[in-house]
Amino acid sequence: MRSFQKILVANRSEIAIRVFRAATELGIRTVAIYAEQDKLSLHRFKADEAYRLDPDKGPIEAYLAIEDIVRTARDAGVDAVHPGYGLLSENPEFAEACAQNGITFIGPGPETMRALGDKVSARQIAIAAGVPVIPASESLPRDLTECEEIAREIGYPLMLKASWGGGGRGMRPIHEPEQLRAAIEEGRREAKSAFGRDEVYLEKLIGDARHVEVQILGDADGNLVHLFERDCTIQRRNQKVIERAPAPYLGDRQRAAICEGALKIGRHTSYRNAGTVEFLLDRQSGEYYFIEVNPRIQVEHTITEEVTGLDIVKAQIRIAEGGRIGSLHETGIPEQANITLSGHAIQCRVTSEDPQNSFIPDYGRITAYRGAFGNGIRIDGGTAYSGAVVTRFYDPLLEKIIAWAPSPNEAQARMLRALREYRIRGVATNLPFLENLLSHAAFGEADYNTRFIDSHPELLSAKKRRDRATRLLTYIADVTVNGHPDVEGRPKPPATALEPVPPRLAGEAPAGTRQVLAERGAQGFADWLREQKQVLFA
C-alpha cells in the first residue's frame, strides 16, 4: 500500500475544501486550482498550494480543460487527483489522462465510468445483474421524428434525462407529445453545457415516487460494501433540496432488498472506490427500480458519514492508495457486518436563490454572515462568509447544513433551530423556504413524493426576515456621514457660543436614603421605609 504525499483537487468551492480537510488529516499536502473568475473563492486559500487555470478560458470551461489541469498536476508534482463531484468527476477521458501521466485518479476506473456514467449502458448492466429497471430508451438519435416514435412505444408521461452526469441537469418531464421536441433540444443544450456531452434518453415517468440512493464502496481486491441508503425525495426541478439518512419510511426487508440491489450492480462491474446507486420507489406498489449510478462522491455524502460514523472521503483516498475494505487501519471501513446505523441525519442545501422570485439566483457581496452551531450541527461550506462575493458564474450553493440526532423528529427540530439561527445578508437565500419545508407536517410524517414541492405552492410564501441589525447599522452610518434629515438646513451654532454649564448646588446636598441606611442599618432602614406615606422611587 503506497502513501500519497500530495493531492490536487480538480474542483472548487465546498467539495474542494472537504477533500482538503480529509487529506490534511491524513498528512497529505493539497493543491487547489481556480479559474480567473473564481480567484476570490475560499477553496483557493484553504489548500497548501493554489494555481490559476488558463485566464483566457471561461469560468466553467477552465475547470473542464483536461490538458491544462493534468499539466498543472504534473508540474505541481502531485501523486493523485480527486475530481470531487460535477465538472470532470464522471469523465473517463480525464481519468485516462491522469493515468497516462503517472497520476492516480481517486475514483473508479475509466471503463467502469464509461459503463455506469452512461445511464443507458448502466441500465443494461442493471438488467444483466437482475435488478429491476424502469422502461426506457437507448440514447436518442438526432432525428426528432425517430424520437417521437420511440416516445410512443414507451408511452407518456416520460422523463428526459442526460446520458452522462447527474444533479438533475438535462432532465425534463414530458406529459404530452407536443412537448417532446422542445424538451429534447433544451435537454441536450443543458447537458452539453454541464457535462460536455449532449446525449439524452427517455424513461417512463412514475408519478407517485420516492427517490432512494445507496452509498457503496469497493476496493481493488474485490471487497464491496454498502453504507445504507439516503432519501433524496424532496426535490425541485429534479434538483435535490433536502436529503435524509436513513430513509425514515423503509422497513428492514425493503432496506435490505434495495441495498442488495446496489451491491449486485457493484459486483457486476467490479466497482472500485465510492459510488451511489439510485432507485425510484413506487409508493403505490412498493416496488423499486434502478435509475442510475453516480460513479463519484455525492453532495449528500455528509449524512451517510453522520449516521455510520465513517469518513467516505478519507476512504476514497485510502482505497486509491491500495487500502483494503475490512481493514480499519488501511481504509477506516470495516466489513459489512460491522457497518451499522446510528441515529438520523438531515442535510439542507443553502443557496443564493430567491424563492419568491422563481428561485432566480442572486449575486453580490455578503454583507453579514452568522452560521449555525451547537450539538449535532455540521456545516460544509465554501462560499458563505462576511465579505464573500457571490458571482453569477457558478452554482448558487452557499453551504450545506447537516443535523444529526437520535431520532428523525429530533433531527428535524435540530435542523429547524439551526436554520432560524442563520443570518446571511447582502444576497437573497432560500433559508425561509427551507424552514417552510422542515415545518410542514408531511415532512415530519415522511408523507411525500418527488413532486412534493410542486404540489405545495404555499411553501414559497416565506416571510422575509426583518434584518433589523443591518438596517440599524445603515441608519447610523448614513447619519454619521450625511447628517440627520430633521436638522438639515438649520444654521450651526456659532463657534464663539459658550458650551452649556450644568447648574451647581448652593451649599451641601440634603441628606437622603443613603444616610438613613448608614445611620440605622439594614433592619432600621426597612422599618423606616414602611413608615413612609409618600411614594418612593428607586
pLDDT of residue 266: 96
pLDDT of residue 443: 95
What homologous superfamily does CATH list for 135-204?
A: ATP-grasp fold, A domain (3.30.1490.20)
pLDDT at 165 over 70: no
Q: How far is CA 186 from CA 140, 217, 489, 530, in A?
A: 14, 35, 60, 86
pLDDT of residue 485: 81
Q: Do domains 6-106 and 135-204 have the same CATH topology?
A: no
Mean pLDDT of 277-294: 92
| CATH number given to 6-106 | 3.40.50.20
pLDDT at 525 over 80: yes
pTM for the predicted model, two decimal places: 0.79
**Count of alpha carbons within 13 Å of 131, Cβ hemisphere only?**
28
Sequence spans of domains, the chain: 6-106, 135-204, 209-460
Report the chain's mean pLDDT, rounded to a whole number. 92
Considering only residues 237 and 447, tell me which one the structure prediction assigns the higher pLDDT.
Answer: 447
pLDDT of residue 100: 96
Active site residue 39: no
**Considering the chain, what percentage of its residues have pLDDT values greater than 70?**
99
Residue 284 DSSP one-character state? T
d(C-alpha 271, C-alpha 267), whole Å:
6
Mean pLDDT of 149-157: 90
pLDDT at 82 over 80: yes
Pick the catalytic residue from 46, 119, 161, 240.
Answer: 240
- Band of the pLDDT at 174, cuts 50, 70, 90? very high
pLDDT at 483 over 90: no
Considering only residues 330 and 168, tell me which one the structure prediction assigns the higher pLDDT.
Answer: 330
pLDDT of residue 487: 80
CA angle 500, 505, 508 (to 5 degrees): 155
d(C-alpha 183, C-alpha 169), whole Å:
12
pLDDT at 319 over 80: yes
**Backbone dihedral angles phi then psi of residue 380, each to the nearest 5 degrees:** -110, 110
Mean pLDDT of 164-189: 85
pLDDT of residue 280: 94
pLDDT of residue 531: 92
d(C-alpha 417, C-alpha 401), whole Å:
11
For 419-471, how does the pLDDT look when each residue is reduced to its tens digit (9 = 90+)? 999 999 999 999 999 999 999 999 999 999 999 998 898 888 877 776 777 77
pLDDT of residue 491: 82
How distant is the alpha carbon of residue 490 from its chain centre?
Answer: 55
- Looking up cell 465546498 gives 14
Topology given in CATH for the domain delimited by 209-460: D-amino Acid Aminotransferase; Chain A, domain 1 (3.30.470)
For 100-152, how does the pLDDT look when each residue is reduced to its tens digit (9 = 90+)? 999 999 999 999 999 887 777 888 999 999 999 988 888 899 999 999 999 99
CA angle 79, 82, 87 (to 5 degrees): 140
